[in-house]
Structure 1
Amino acid sequence: MIHGSPPISPVALLAPEPARPHPIQSCHHIWFYLRIIVPLIMLAALSACKDEPITQDARPKDPPHVAQLTKPPTPLIAPADHPAPGSTGSASASDSTLTYTAPKSWTEQPATQFLTAAFTTGEGDQTIRITISSLTGNAGGRIPNINRWRGQLSLPPITDIAQQPEQHIDLPSGIHCSLYDMQSADKTQSFLIAYLPVPAQNKTYFIKAAGSSPAIGELKPAFITFLNSITITSL
């Protein structure tokens, strides 16, 4: 017996020592709880982090604006101030009025600032353009104008009016007309040009047909007929 120690009860000596848990059993218990708790934690985390559902607008969207360039339709009917082909027409200048009768095969075109009247006839490479224009006085002289037209056909200039063949026509209206028939150096293009001086009106008219040489050759009789239909009167 050790002095100072409390006495031990005989019953306590005979009582069995309490059982301690086996290490393997403790591991089984921990694994059991982890299998239950971990999935619950993961499920809660996924629920908390779950994004809100994405909605999509199914309504059709307006197409992007596209600018459309439009131009006014070309009128199919000639303006009223331009006579129909084959009818009697007139063109006013500052101090005189020119009247004419165009062949039915000529299609009248709009006049411009520098053209009193204009026509076309034929098709494709046989198209001929006929124009009427006027200038004040003698329009700079006959030879300078002839040389300008010759230059357009790649012909050399002249120094004497006799060097350019000329056909004289006295129109029914009493106006003397000089007709020049010119052909390009390569014989492919030709001009018919009527030179109409009107001294009483201090004005000179030019009537010009331009086109391929074969087409101009066929046009010449109708062109002369057109010249004979012209009258010029004072306003």
Structure 2
Amino acid sequence: MQPAKSSIGPLRPPALAVLLALTAISACRRDPIETYRVSKEIPRSPSHAAAPAPQEVTWRTPAGWEEQAPSAMRAGSFLVKGPGGRTADVSVIPLAGTAGGDLANINRWRGQIDLDPLSQEELARFSQSITPSGRSMRWVDFEHGGKRLVAAIHARKGRTWFFKMTGDDRTVQDAEPAFRQFLESLRFYDGPQR
């Protein structure tokens, strides 16, 4: 079988040029630009302005403690300067719920001063209950390798509050009475009386 013959002969150069030009012109045709108007959504304003939430806890800062800027985790942060340029860090951290539990947090802190974790039974021996201003708190005091950590843990209204001082052993020892006074000064906001 032979291929079918075209009834159209070969295109001549001028005809080919015209055909290509028409194809190019039709391919480059621009679609018209469409515009839309959409009304801007206006945020609803509350019927009354919300009052700022009161601070949940207040305290008296001991003399010599330098207040540091709070962070996303810290409700309070202080620098305590000791002899010879040594320092201690004081933190106030509220976390939701039990925050993993006392044992997990205390063992994490022990790791920060290179101490081994405690078992639940050992935790009972290495911690004590204190009641600054009538509030029940768990107290721990650990020292290792020239570093010391003292902390109080207070569970209150679905949150756990961690009050911790860590740093140079002597600086923390010297500042411990002020730290205990700091715990005594804590005042928690309970909302308006009804």
Fold shared by both chains (TM-score > 0.5): yes
Q: In the alignment, which residue of structure 2 is the partner of 1:67?
A: none
The separation in 2 between residues aligned to 1:232 and 1:118, in whole angstroms, is 17
Q: In the alignment, which residue of structure 1 is the partner of 2:95?
A: 135
Within a 5 Å distance, the mapping from 1:209-224 to structure 2 comes to: 209-224=165-180
Within a 5 Å distance, the mapping from 1:1-235 to structure 2 comes to: 97-122=56-81, 125-163=85-123, 165-172=126-133, 174-184=134-144, 186=145, 188-198=146-156, 201-235=157-191
1:121 CA displacement: 1.7
Q: In the alignment, which residue of structure 2 is the partner of 1:83?
A: none
Say how many residue pairs are matched: 137
Unpaired runs of 5+ residues, structure 1, are 1-93
1:126 CA displacement: 1.5
Q: Which amino acid aligns with 1:114?
A: M
Q: Secondary structure at the match of 1:211?
A: strand
Q: Deviations over 1:195-235 (max 9, x none)?
A: 1111xx20000011111111111111111111011121224
- Equivalent pair of 1:125/1:212 in contact (CA under 8 Å): no
1:158 CA displacement: 1.2
Unpaired runs of 5+ residues, structure 2, are 1-52
Q: Which amino acid aligns with 1:106?
A: W
- Equivalent pair of 1:96/1:233 in contact (CA under 8 Å): yes
The separation in 2 between residues aligned to 1:162 and 1:175, in whole angstroms, is 24
Q: Secondary structure at the match of 2:189?
A: strand
Change (3 A) 1:132 1:217: same
- Equivalent pair of 1:177/1:196 in contact (CA under 8 Å): yes
The separation in 1 between residues aligned to 2:107 and 2:100, in whole angstroms, is 12
After TM superposition, the score normalised by the length of structure 2 is 0.65
* Greater relative CO (CA pairs within 8 A, separation 6+): 2
Q: In the alignment, which residue of structure 1 is the partner of 2:15?
A: none
The separation in 1 between residues aligned to 2:88 and 2:109, in whole angstroms, is 16
Runs of 4+ in 1 over 6 A off after TM superposition: none
1:194 CA displacement: 1.0
The separation in 2 between residues aligned to 1:122 and 1:96, in whole angstroms, is 27
- RMSD (CA atoms): 1.9
Q: Secondary structure at the match of 2:174?
A: helix
After TM superposition, the score normalised by the length of structure 1 is 0.54
1:103 CA displacement: 0.9
